[in-house]
Structure 1
Amino acid sequence: MMSDARLRILSFSTVYPRPTEPRFGIFVRARLQKLAVLADVAVVAPVAPIEYGSPNQRWFDLSRAPLHRMDDALRVEHPRWFYPPLFGWSHSWWLARCAEGSFGRLQQEFPFQVIDAHFGHPEASAAFRLARKFGVPFTVTLRGNETFHAEDPRKRRRMAEALRAAARVIAVSEPLRDFGIELGVDPKRAVVIPNGIDSAVFHPRNRSAERQRLGMVDSELHILSAGYLIERKGHHRIVETLAGLQGHGRTVRLWIVGDPGAEGDFAAGIRRRVSQCGVQASVTFVPAVPASELACYMSACDLFCLATSREGWPNVVNEALACGTPVVATNVGGVPAMIPDPRFGLIVPPGDSAALGNALARAMSMEWDRDAIACQGLSRSWEQVAKEVYEQLRAVTIENKL
């Protein structure tokens, strides 16, 4: 229920769970659910009927995303938005136009005091336009895809304009804060607030019992790679290391858990690499599973590996650590902050299969304190994240009154 004494926040993101896609943007939802304990929060999460970035699902069945719904304490609006293909720089304009009606209705029923936008493109520029129209300040959270979008000079200019106008730029990692400052953001208005962990889901399980239940041969060494089956996640780079790892005294098995994502479908490419490397007998593909089941795979495996080429704050690393599993990951985004000590895992340069193979071989031979690793992974909660975000948003509304 809305209270006059509580801060009223309108969160704005095209990446947010839908009834049939419960893990789509689950990290955005996790922050907002905890933020809703401290403030009144409404969410505008536009849905595009044509998803040009997805080769498997160009058309989205709008009946699966109701225009209005309640998501626990969150009021969620799913306006439809349309954007032309090949003109990515214009998407923020289309997004603002299509979301304007939802913003207007909410302003009448829920007089929001600040817009909390997620992602630098297309949300930041759209939020900039909408904030001016509705006379409220806005903030932007940078989550990792911004550096990719900034390779397009027109997107970069629009992002820079919006970020410089934002009352706060919240980055999930230090490199993303540096990126915002590079685009002209006042360092005093740029803060780092990393993501958190859901300890009710991600925590150590009985390893032996889970290995038996999941059909993992006890004498084998098990490596887990989890995430969308897209090229950026680097599953194929782990596959390339398997043949060399088999000579270290134990049979090594790679478990790849995930489905194709909005960025594309690289499943055939991964399977082709498995065949080319001759490791068909050493790789098991598992369709995407609920978070609670993913935590079981993490607890059961000996190592978790993330060979991605680009991330902001890869939650899956923290989730694996929270389950007590040592991690080998590429040096992207917030990974160095997540693995600050080799007692928790090893970090390698992105795109370097030789370095990745050497790190996995080294990790296989190390003795790991899984209890200490779990403590590291569980050290930051979503409640803490929400409190830090709330403090920034509250400060923004106070500054706006001065």
Structure 2
Amino acid sequence: MSPDSGAAVPRVLSLSSVFPRPDEPRFGVFVARRLEHLAELAPVEAAVPVPWLEIAGRRPKLPRLHGVKTVQRGALTVHYRRWLYPPGLGFFHPAWMAAQMAPWLGRLRRRFPFNVIDAHFGFPESVAAMRLARRFGVPFTATLRGNELIHARCPRRRAQMQAAFRAAAAVMANSPQLRDLAVELGADPARTRVIGNGVDTTIFHPRPREEARRRLAMDPSRLHIVSAGWLVLEKGHHLLANVLPRLHAGGLPADLWILGGPGRGEDARPELARIIARHGLEAHVHLPGAVPPETLAEYFSACDVFCLASLREGWPNVVQEALACGAPVVAARVGAVEQILDAPECGEIVPPGDPGALFSALARLLRAGFDREAIARRGAARSWRQVAQEVLDVFQTIVFSSVDPERP
């Protein structure tokens, strides 16, 4: 069914401050993928609040839109709108976001009469969406993606999320852990659903391994471990670097490739530099920086093992993408890892933050043989189109069942 097929479909206004933008094209790409595919099934427009001054981590940043206000991403219309929030007063952010977005959304609604608001992330978007839904008399949904676990530690933010999850017509969570959090905070269990992400198999599919290694200048005499994600401590890259000397001592000549750039969180580069210098790993830890998806797929195809050592995740796309390229995976038990890595022939799951378990699993996988074609088939099984249809089913139930967005 297409948006122009004439069938009755919801008209969705999506709200997410985490979304690709001119100065950060890979920021929130998982949100963009879901909405792009949803827009092929129903009318969808995205509102992306972009702060004038972004305070994330230790260095404030001035996001640059380069004059861009509205863009098309396939069938999806994306609107970037500036907003300002008070630093150090995070519990005020939802109210400020809603107040600053409301006048523009009122004008947008005259052209695009949305009948459901689709908020991504529990805070501040879902709380802001609750306010906007009440103003416009429409239901709203909340999608939980991982940072809610951190926000729930703050009493004021937790209380606001409780109110939002109770009022939401539906809560979609990236993992069972996040669904449990939503229920704990008051969401009606009957209105919650786990909907993970998908994988783009036009990009993430196996490449000829030896050719990929030559293109990436990987030493053919060594074993290669790949890790991918922002260069922040919670991604656990430093844990992997610390394991390398033990692998070498055990007769496994492994190199580590860390793919990613600076991110929102505590910078991992100083700790990585200390570990590399302390153990003399300059020739064995490689930092190519952030790479485009096509190159990421080459690294996944070329490596012996992909490793996710994160301390926190929602639905870690990189695990699914690595599997779709045929790479066996060692992953920490965080977020939806157990749902993605659900077969022992695809890899191993270890406790988060456990260097001993990480070493043992990597040693076993580096010595083992795998059917990489079978791994790729399992990894490619969940498409973004399937995800979009699951989300559309939720919206159709909400909109055409006349759910009250202000129910107690």
Amino acid corresponding to residue 228 of structure 2 in structure 1: A
Q: CA deviation at 1:268?
A: 2.2
TM-score normalised by structure 2 residue count: 0.95
Partner of 1:315: 317
Bigger drift between 1-10 and 378-387 goes to 1-10
**Partners in 2 of 1:383 and 1:280 — Cα distance?**
43
Amino acid corresponding to residue 105 of structure 1 in structure 2: R
TM-score normalised by structure 1 residue count: 0.97
Q: CA deviation at 1:249?
A: 2.8
**Partners in 2 of 1:56 and 1:290 — Cα distance?**
25
**Partners in 1 of 2:198 and 2:63 — Cα distance?**
30
Q: Tell me if structure 2 keeps the 8 A contact 1:298–1:323.
A: yes
Q: Tell me if structure 1 keeps the 8 A contact 2:3–2:39.
A: no
Q: Which secondary structure does the structure 2 equivalent of 1:285 belong to?
A: strand
Q: Does 1:260 align with 2:256?
A: no
**Partners in 2 of 1:368 and 1:271 — Cα distance?**
33
Q: CA deviation at 1:57?
A: 5.0
Bigger drift between 83-92 and 265-274 goes to 265-274
Partner of 2:208: 206
Q: Which secondary structure does the structure 1 equivalent of 2:78 belong to?
A: strand
Q: Tell me if structure 1 keeps the 8 A contact 2:9–2:396.
A: no
Q: CA deviation at 1:263?
A: 2.7
Q: Which secondary structure does the structure 2 equivalent of 1:98 belong to?
A: helix
Aligned residue among 228, 231, 253 for 1:229: 231
**Partners in 1 of 2:160 and 2:222 — Cα distance?**
51
Q: CA deviation at 1:38?
A: 0.7
Q: Deviations over 1:143-191 (max 9, x none)?
A: 1110111010110010011011000000111111111111111110000
Bigger drift between 257-266 and 116-125 goes to 257-266
Aligned residue among 292, 300, 303 for 1:301: 303
Q: Tell me if structure 2 keeps the 8 A contact 1:234–1:309.
A: yes
Q: Which secondary structure does the structure 1 equivalent of 2:357 belong to?
A: helix
Partner of 1:191: 193
Q: Tell me if structure 1 keeps the 8 A contact 2:238–2:268.
A: no
Q: CA deviation at 1:2?
A: 7.0
Which blocks of at least 5 consecutive residues in structure 1 are unaligned? Answer: none
Q: CA deviation at 1:226?
A: 0.8
Partner of 1:159: 161
Q: Which secondary structure does the structure 2 equivalent of 1:243 belong to?
A: helix
Q: Deviations over 1:108-141 (max 9, x none)?
A: 1100010011000100100000000000000010
Partner of 1:77: 79
Cα 1:60–1:401 shift into 2, 3 Å? closer
Which blocks of at least 5 consecutive residues in structure 2 are unaligned? Answer: none
Partner of 1:60: 63
Q: Deviations over 1:177-209 (max 9, x none)?
A: 111111111110000111000000000000010
Q: CA deviation at 1:83?
A: 1.1
Q: Does 1:50 align with 2:53?
A: yes
Q: Tell me if structure 1 keeps the 8 A contact 2:173–2:196.
A: yes
Q: CA deviation at 1:106?
A: 1.5
Bigger drift between 262-271 and 287-296 goes to 262-271
Q: Which secondary structure does the structure 2 equivalent of 1:260 belong to?
A: coil
Q: CA deviation at 1:41?
A: 0.5
Aligned residue among 15, 26, 30 for 1:27: 30
Bigger drift between 223-232 and 248-257 goes to 248-257
- Aligned residue pairs total 401
Paired residues for 1:107-126 under 5 Å = 107-126=109-128
Amino acid corresponding to residue 74 of structure 2 in structure 1: D
Q: Does 1:219 align with 2:221?
A: yes
**Partners in 1 of 2:141 and 2:67 — Cα distance?**
26
Partner of 1:382: 384
Q: CA deviation at 1:56?
A: 4.6
Q: CA deviation at 1:72?
A: 2.4
Q: Deviations over 1:307-347 (max 9, x none)?
A: 10000100000000000001111000100111112211111
Cα 1:155–1:206 shift into 2, 3 Å? same
Partner of 2:99: 97
Q: CA deviation at 1:68?
A: 2.3
**Partners in 2 of 1:201 and 1:102 — Cα distance?**
36
Q: CA deviation at 1:367?
A: 1.3
Amino acid corresponding to residue 152 of structure 2 in structure 1: A
Q: CA deviation at 1:65?
A: 5.7
**Partners in 2 of 1:401 and 1:369 — Cα distance?**
48
